[in-house]
Structure 1
Amino acid sequence: MNAAKRLEIFERLAEAMPEPTTELNYNTPFELLIAVVLSAQATDVGVNKATAKLFPVANTPEAILKLGLDGLKTYIKTIGLYNSKGKHIITLCQQLLNNHAGQVPDTREALEKLAGVGRKTANVILNTAFGQHTIAVDTHIFRVSNRMGIAPGKNVLEVERKLEKFVPKQHKKNAHHLLILHGRYTCVARKPKCPNCIIANLCEFKDKTII
């Protein structure tokens, strides 16, 4: 895929979604961090239901530590893998207090040292909370990038590197959310909605669906 076609793809997506953002509900970088940790292998809708009850009670590292692991679990038990996620959250809250004065750090190196935080989660925080031009490659972005031909790769890191290289500079800040939302609602996994896709004529997917 050439640069002109990539640019047109992002121009159309940006026009259709002028203010793309996460569908996780949050008000602070810490709330976003907790929501993203909880969202692994879970839906944003499910996470939002849990955090709608959790955050009014505890939305700081101190408050969550005061709840304790058992108390935290009562709020997140509807989310998959809640036992391990709860342990990660308790540990990362203590790490934030010990090493960052209770604040969420704004560097990848510091974020990836937190319990339960990998490269993808760090990229989400850097992009969404701090406005950095990072692109977290989740299942949606991996699928869309390969299917459209915009940044094909054998693994998530390869796709991330290609997106960093090929996404037009003016769209790098929002590319993460543009691609996720496109993958979540249009370029879906089993039967992409090609007839309703605004970039169908630019996409290089060979098996486009028809009406």
Structure 2
Amino acid sequence: MNHNIRFEIFDRLRSENPHPKTELHYSSVFELLIAVLLSAQATDVSVNLATDKLYKIANTPKQILELGEENLKQYIKTIGLFNSKAANTIKTCKALIDNHNGEVPNTREALEALPGVGRKTANVVLNTYFKQPVMAVDTHIFRVANRTKIAKGKDVREVEDRLIKFIPKEFLLDAHHWMILHGRYTCTARKPKCGSCLIEDLCEFKEKIVD
């Protein structure tokens, strides 16, 4: 795939959705961080159902620490891996208070040092809240990047690096959200909706499904 085709793909995605946003509910960078931490191997819908209730009771590091791990579990028990996520959330809240005056840091290194926060979670926070042109590659983006041939890669990091390299700079800030939404609703895993796809004629997927 060449530069002109990639440009046209993202130009169309931008025209359809000029201001893409995450589907996670949040009103502060801390709420976003915790929501993303909870979203690993879980749907945004399930996370929102839990955090909509949790954040009414506790939505700062101090308040969640005071809530305690066992009580926190009661709010997030419908989310997969809730036991380990509760433990990491409590540890992260403590680290934020001890090391960052209760504030969420805006560097990858500091974010990745937080318990339960890996590269993908850090990238989501950096991109979504701090507006840094980084790429958080989840299963949807990994699939879309490889299937369309926008950026082929054997693993998540290779796809991330190639997306950063190949996506035209003017689209890079919003590319994460365009690609994740495209993968979630159009370029789905089992049966992609190629017949109604905005970029079907530009995509290099050889097994297109056109109903």
Q: Secondary structure at the match of 1:13?
A: helix
Q: Which runs of 5+ in 2 are unaligned?
A: none
Aligned mates of 2:92, 2:72 — CA distance in 1: 13
TM-score by length of 1: 0.99
Matched, 1:199 2:193: no
TM-score by length of 2: 0.99
Aligned mates of 2:189, 2:16 — CA distance in 1: 21
Matched, 1:27 2:13: no
Task: Indicate the residue corresponding to 2:17 in structure 1.
Answer: 17
Shift of 1:210: 1.6
Tell me which amino acid in the other structure corresponds to 1:84: S
Q: Which runs of 5+ in 1 are unaligned?
A: none
Aligned mates of 2:197, 2:210 — CA distance in 1: 11
Task: Indicate the residue corresponding to 1:46 in structure 2.
Answer: 46
> Any residues of structure 2 matched to 1:25-174 within 5 Å, and which?
25-174=25-174
Aligned residues: 211
Matched, 1:190 2:190: yes
Aligned mates of 2:206, 2:17 — CA distance in 1: 25
RMSD: 0.4
Task: Indicate the residue corresponding to 2:179 in structure 1.
Answer: 179
Aligned mates of 1:24, 1:140 — CA distance in 2: 15
Aligned mates of 2:14, 2:135 — CA distance in 1: 16
Q: Deviations over 1:20-51 (max 9, x none)?
A: 11000000000000000100000100000000
Q: Which runs of 4+ in 1 moved over 6 A?
A: none
Q: Secondary structure at the match of 1:55?
A: helix
Tell me which amino acid in the other structure corresponds to 1:148: T
Tell me which amino acid in the other structure corresponds to 1:205: F
